[in-house]
Amino acid sequence: MATCVSVAGGIYPTTYNGNDITPMEGVSLFTTLAGEADTMRLLTFEHQGTPAIRKGDWKLFSCKRNSMNSTEFTDDTDFELYNIADDRSETTNMAAIHPEKVTEFKQLMFEEFYRTLVFPKQKKKYIYSKR
Protein backbone atom coordinates (compact mmCIF):
# COMPACT_ATOMS: atom_id res chain seq x y z
CA MET A 1 0.00 0.00 0.00
CA ALA A 2 2.77 2.43 0.90
CA THR A 3 4.34 2.08 -2.55
CA CYS A 4 0.99 2.66 -4.28
CA VAL A 5 0.33 5.79 -2.23
CA SER A 6 3.85 7.03 -2.99
CA VAL A 7 3.57 6.39 -6.75
CA ALA A 8 0.20 8.12 -6.87
CA GLY A 9 1.51 11.07 -4.88
CA GLY A 10 -1.36 10.54 -2.50
CA ILE A 11 -1.91 10.86 1.20
CA TYR A 12 -3.36 7.91 3.07
CA PRO A 13 -6.52 9.09 4.86
CA THR A 14 -7.16 8.77 8.58
CA THR A 15 -10.96 8.82 8.25
CA TYR A 16 -13.62 8.02 5.67
CA ASN A 17 -17.23 9.11 5.99
CA GLY A 18 -16.57 9.95 9.64
CA ASN A 19 -15.08 6.53 10.43
CA ASP A 20 -11.50 6.05 11.55
CA ILE A 21 -9.34 4.02 9.17
CA THR A 22 -6.69 1.61 10.38
CA PRO A 23 -3.36 3.36 9.83
CA MET A 24 -1.31 2.21 6.87
CA GLU A 25 1.64 0.03 7.73
CA GLY A 26 4.74 -0.62 5.71
CA VAL A 27 7.18 1.47 3.75
CA SER A 28 7.38 2.35 0.09
CA LEU A 29 9.59 0.10 -2.00
CA PHE A 30 11.22 3.30 -3.24
CA THR A 31 12.56 3.85 0.28
CA THR A 32 13.97 0.33 0.30
CA LEU A 33 15.49 0.62 -3.17
CA ALA A 34 17.13 3.91 -2.19
CA GLY A 35 18.76 2.10 0.75
CA GLU A 36 16.89 4.22 3.29
CA ALA A 37 14.78 1.47 4.86
CA ASP A 38 15.07 0.52 8.52
CA THR A 39 17.01 -2.77 8.40
CA MET A 40 15.89 -3.69 11.94
CA ARG A 41 12.21 -3.27 11.05
CA LEU A 42 10.01 -6.11 12.25
CA LEU A 43 8.23 -7.98 9.46
CA THR A 44 5.64 -10.64 10.23
CA PHE A 45 3.45 -12.52 7.82
CA GLU A 46 1.24 -15.55 7.58
CA HIS A 47 0.04 -17.45 4.53
CA GLN A 48 -2.33 -20.40 4.75
CA GLY A 49 -1.51 -20.92 8.41
CA THR A 50 2.24 -20.76 7.89
CA PRO A 51 3.73 -18.00 10.10
CA ALA A 52 7.02 -16.17 9.65
CA ILE A 53 8.92 -13.23 11.10
CA ARG A 54 12.01 -11.33 10.07
CA LYS A 55 13.97 -8.81 12.06
CA GLY A 56 17.44 -7.63 11.17
CA ASP A 57 19.54 -10.54 9.97
CA TRP A 58 17.24 -13.21 11.43
CA LYS A 59 14.24 -15.02 9.99
CA LEU A 60 12.03 -17.53 11.81
CA PHE A 61 9.29 -19.52 10.11
CA SER A 62 7.38 -22.75 10.15
CA CYS A 63 7.48 -24.98 7.08
CA LYS A 64 4.37 -26.76 8.29
CA ARG A 65 1.17 -25.62 6.64
CA ASN A 66 -1.70 -24.87 9.04
CA SER A 67 0.69 -24.53 11.98
CA MET A 68 -1.71 -22.16 13.74
CA ASN A 69 -5.12 -22.70 15.25
CA SER A 70 -7.52 -19.84 15.96
CA THR A 71 -5.50 -18.33 18.82
CA GLU A 72 -1.96 -19.73 18.82
CA PHE A 73 0.65 -21.90 17.16
CA THR A 74 -0.13 -25.61 17.20
CA ASP A 75 1.83 -27.82 19.61
CA ASP A 76 3.47 -29.79 16.80
CA THR A 77 4.80 -26.70 15.01
CA ASP A 78 8.54 -26.78 14.44
CA PHE A 79 10.18 -23.48 13.64
CA GLU A 80 13.31 -22.96 11.58
CA LEU A 81 15.69 -20.07 12.25
CA TYR A 82 18.11 -18.61 9.73
CA ASN A 83 20.68 -15.84 9.79
CA ILE A 84 20.05 -14.56 6.29
CA ALA A 85 23.07 -12.24 6.31
CA ASP A 86 25.36 -15.27 6.69
CA ASP A 87 23.14 -17.87 4.97
CA ARG A 88 21.23 -16.19 2.14
CA SER A 89 19.99 -19.52 0.75
CA GLU A 90 18.65 -20.63 4.16
CA THR A 91 20.52 -23.93 4.21
CA THR A 92 21.54 -24.06 7.90
CA ASN A 93 18.72 -24.13 10.44
CA MET A 94 20.03 -22.37 13.57
CA ALA A 95 17.01 -23.08 15.81
CA ALA A 96 18.81 -25.67 17.95
CA ILE A 97 21.86 -23.42 18.33
CA HIS A 98 19.84 -20.30 19.25
CA PRO A 99 16.72 -21.48 21.13
CA GLU A 100 16.53 -18.12 22.94
CA LYS A 101 16.16 -16.37 19.55
CA VAL A 102 13.39 -18.82 18.58
CA THR A 103 11.55 -18.06 21.85
CA GLU A 104 12.03 -14.29 21.40
CA PHE A 105 10.82 -14.31 17.80
CA LYS A 106 7.84 -16.56 18.51
CA GLN A 107 6.75 -14.12 21.22
CA LEU A 108 7.21 -11.12 18.90
CA MET A 109 5.26 -12.90 16.17
CA PHE A 110 2.49 -13.82 18.60
CA GLU A 111 2.18 -10.19 19.78
CA GLU A 112 2.15 -8.86 16.21
CA PHE A 113 -0.45 -11.38 15.12
CA TYR A 114 -2.77 -10.22 17.90
CA ARG A 115 -2.05 -6.55 17.17
CA THR A 116 -2.79 -6.96 13.45
CA LEU A 117 -5.80 -9.26 13.98
CA VAL A 118 -4.26 -12.40 12.50
CA PHE A 119 -5.23 -13.85 15.90
CA PRO A 120 -7.87 -14.70 16.86
CA LYS A 121 -8.76 -16.29 13.57
CA GLN A 122 -12.33 -15.87 12.48
CA LYS A 123 -14.38 -18.90 11.59
CA LYS A 124 -14.76 -19.14 7.84
CA LYS A 125 -18.24 -18.65 6.52
CA TYR A 126 -18.77 -20.22 3.17
CA ILE A 127 -21.60 -18.90 1.07
CA TYR A 128 -22.63 -21.04 -1.80
CA SER A 129 -24.73 -19.64 -4.56
CA LYS A 130 -27.14 -21.66 -6.62
CA ARG A 131 -26.43 -21.58 -10.32
Whether 2 is covered by a domain: the verdict is yes
Lowest mean pLDDT among 14-18, 21-25, 76-80, 124-128: 124-128
Beta bridge partners, 19, equal: 16
Whether residues 116 and 77 share a domain: the answer is: yes
Whether residues 58 and 114 share a domain: the answer is: yes
pTM: 0.76
Whether 114 is covered by a domain: the verdict is yes
What residue type is assigned to position 40 of the chain? M
Domain count, the chain: 2
**Helix or strand (DSSP H, E) at 2:** helix 2-8
Q: Which domain holds residue 32?
A: 1-37
Query: Cα–Cα distance between 20 and 14 in angstroms, integer?
Result: 6
Whether residues 22 and 51 share a domain: the answer is: no
* Nearest Cα residue to 81 out of 54, 107, 48, 108: 54
Taking residues 62-84, report their average pLDDT: 86
Phi-psi region at 48: left, alpha or beta (left = phi > 0; alpha = psi -120 to 50) = left
